[in-house]
Amino acid sequence: GESVGLHLPTLSVQEGDNSIINCAYSNSASDYFIWYKQESGKGPQFIIDIRSNMDKRQGQRVTVLLNKTVKHLSLQIAATQPGDSAVYFCAENRGGEYGNKLVFGAGTILRVKS
Partner 1 sequence: DGGITQSPKYLFRKEGQNVTLSCEQNLNHDAMYWYRQDPGQGLRLIYYSQIVNDFQKGDIAEGYSVSREKKESFPLTVTSAQKNPTAFYLCASSTQALGGSGYTFGSGTRLTVV
Euclidean distance between CA atoms 3 and 76, whole angstroms: 22
27 lies in the binding site for partner 1 (CB under 8 A): no
Question: CB of residue 63 vs partner 1: minimum separation in angstroms?
Answer: 16
41 lies in the binding site for partner 1 (CB under 8 A): yes
Strand order in the sheet with 62-67: 4-6, 19-25, 72-77, 62-67, 56-58
Q: Which of 11, 21, 34, 73 binds partner 1 (CB under 8 A)?
A: 34
Of 47 and 112, CB closest to partner 1: 47
Q: How far are the Cα atoms of 45, 95, 96 from residue 110, in angstroms, in the given order?
A: 15, 30, 33
CB count, 10 Å around CB of 94? 17
102 lies in the binding site for partner 1 (CB under 8 A): yes
Subset of 57-86 contacting partner 1 (CB under 8 A): none
Of 36 and 112, CB closest to partner 1: 36
